Amino acid sequence: MRKDSSPASVPGKLFLCFETKPLVATLLALTLVMVIWNLQPYYENLISTTSRCSAASAASTTIATGNASILPFTSPSSSSISEKKVSTPKASSKSNADPNKRLFSAYGKAASLFVLMGAYRGGPRTFAVVGLASKPLHVYGRPWYKCEWVSSNGTASLRAKAFKMLPDWGYGRVYTVVVVNCTFPENPNLDNAGGMLVLRAYYGESPRKFEKFTVLEEQPGSYDESKYRPPYQYEYLYCGSSLYGNLSAARIREWMAYHAWFFGPKSHFVFHDAGGVSPAVRAALAPWVRAGWATIQDIRGQAEFDGYYYNQFLVVNDCLHRYRHSANWTFYFDVDEYIYLPDGRTLESVLEEFSDYTQFTIEQNPMSSMLCLNDSSRNYSREWGFEKLQFRDSRTRIRRDRKYAIQAKNAYSTGVHMSENVIGKTLHKTETKIRYYHYHNSISINGEPCRELLPLSAKNNVTWFDKLPYVYDDNMTKVADTVKQFERNAIGSIQVFQ
């Protein structure tokens, strides 16, 4: 008879083998994880140090030259985790022997001391530096500035104490707008040898803590005093606020055609793209840009710095100083507003009457952005917005926002609705001479604006809508055909796609 060995011995060894291997593998895996976990801080420090050195090396080669606008911007999407670590706390040189002595370790910075957008010569002796700064620092501290001109010919530098202005009326958020005026006792570049304007920005009252940086450079032979006195390149300049949101290309096309017709060939329009110039909007403006009527500046980098309403106070001040000696009058209003002259007046005659004033404000005619006549004889799909929106809010004796025009050569800084830092007089009683039609929010309606149709009898009656009284006003309708013909003559026929 065959003798079998013990049946339990082989399965027992197999069980022991299969039980030991997973245990060893698990321990090895845990050990590897712990090693990687402990090495991670050293790896991040090494990477962030390398990134900072590279960034510093690149930044050291950048300089603000000429009158070019500068607004630093880093795309958040391109930053790695290691690049977000920008600073480490300063370690105490001595151990804290006293348990009741508390230490404070600072990480990072909440806001920059100064963010430069542009620096411009304002005349033979004056310069303007436009930028942003930490609002809490200016509200609760006493930062100040100094200007210095460093000549290219090696002569002694010339210094001047700066005068700062905060023109955003307290509306700033993390950042407030700062305009620094530098006025020297004489033209610092009188020999036209060229040089650099250097700004010192102080953190507080102490003169020992400051940042020093170049804001403008003039090349040898580039100074031309004739640029700073009449005649100027344009009669009229439009400085637009920040364009943002989903704007209607059709409304932009109509606005541009109307105001090119209104201001005439000796005018120029400056738009600021804060994200609102879509491909369709850009296509609507492109013919005017090519013809030399308009300029579009990309200011999307401003989103990195939290200021009021897409930093519009920063934008209007930069435009003021960038084009300060480019036109006799500079106009500030929005792309849903249309300047209008009542009673057949001409713009030249009105401005001649206002020539003794540095600035004048303009009263608005508030229009409905949805009310139209129910007129079967009209094809509204082919009419322009200001042509078919014909109902005006008829309330009186209420305060409404005003827009304005200014002789920029007499302004140190400006605002959205008027300037408070000017040389000369301001005129407000202008409603019988010049007004503007305001189609509020119509610029963001990408479909048909006529969303409420009123009977033809509304032409002769007061219509109440949303508890507001409206009356019929067709002043803008009367000039629509003239504006369309002007557009065809100026840039040809264009097709707008939304």
pLDDT in tens, 318-359: 999 999 999 999 999 999 999 999 998 999 999 999 999 999
Q: CA 354, 359, 361 angle in degrees (round to 5)?
A: 90
**Cis peptide upstream of residue 99 (ω within 30 degrees of 0):** no
Calpha distance 37→444 (Å, rounded): 51
pLDDT at 73: 43
The answer, yes or no, to whether residue 422 has pLDDT greater than 90, is: yes
Q: What is the secondary structure of 7-47 as a DSSP string? A: TTHHHHHHHHHHHHHHHHHHHHHHHHHHHHHHHHHHHHHHH
Nearest residue to 262 via CA among 362, 180, 409: 362
Calpha distance 468→486 (Å, rounded): 35
- Here the tokens at position 432 are 């019988």
Q: What SS3 state is found at 421? A: strand
Higher pLDDT, 7 or 371: 371
If you ran DSSP here, which 8-state letter would residue 369 be given? S
pLDDT tens readout for residues 258-287:
999 999 999 999 999 999 999 999 999 999
How large is the C-alpha radius of gyration of the chain? 32
pLDDT at 84: 45
The answer, yes or no, to whether residue 22 has pLDDT greater than 70, is: no
If you ran DSSP here, which 8-state letter would residue 66 be given? T
Strand residues in 442-495 grouped as ranges (E): 452-454, 463-465, 468-472
Whether 276 and 252 have beta carbons less than 8 Å apart is answered as no
Whether 331 and 405 have beta carbons less than 8 Å apart is answered as yes
pLDDT at 485: 97
Whether 268 and 234 have beta carbons less than 8 Å apart is answered as yes
- The overall average pLDDT reported for the chain is 87
Please name the residues in contact with 61: beta carbons below 8 A apart, sequence gap of 6 or more. Answer: none
Nearest residue to 443 via CA among 225, 227, 280, 250: 250
Please name the residues in contact with 107: beta carbons below 8 A apart, sequence gap of 6 or more. Answer: 87, 88, 89
Nearest residue to 385 via CA among 271, 486, 247: 247
Long-range contacts of 290-295 (CB under 8 A, 24+ apart): 291/490, 291/491, 292/268, 293/256, 293/260, 293/267, 293/268, 293/269, 293/490, 294/256, 294/268, 294/269, 294/270, 295/268, 295/269, 295/270, 295/271
Calpha distance 262→425 (Å, rounded): 26
- Here the tokens at position 59 are 């930044």
Q: How confident is the model at residue 154 (pLDDT cuts 50, 70, 90)?
A: confident
Lowest mean pLDDT among 51-55, 308-312, 452-456: 51-55
Q: What SS3 state is found at 271? A: strand
Angle between helices 279-290 and 249-263 (to 10 degrees): 20
Which contiguous run of DSSP H or E holds residue 379? none
Lowest mean pLDDT among 50-59, 122-131, 344-353: 50-59
Whether 107 and 135 have beta carbons less than 8 Å apart is answered as no
Please name the residues in contact with 402: beta carbons below 8 A apart, sequence gap of 6 or more. Answer: 361, 362, 363, 364, 417, 418, 428
The answer, yes or no, to whether residue 90 has pLDDT greater than 80, is: no
Phi, psi (rounded to 5 degrees) for 122: -105, 0
pLDDT tens readout for residues 463-495:
999 999 999 999 999 999 999 999 999 999 777
Percentage of the chain exceeding pLDDT 70: 81
Mean pLDDT, rounded, for 393-397: 94
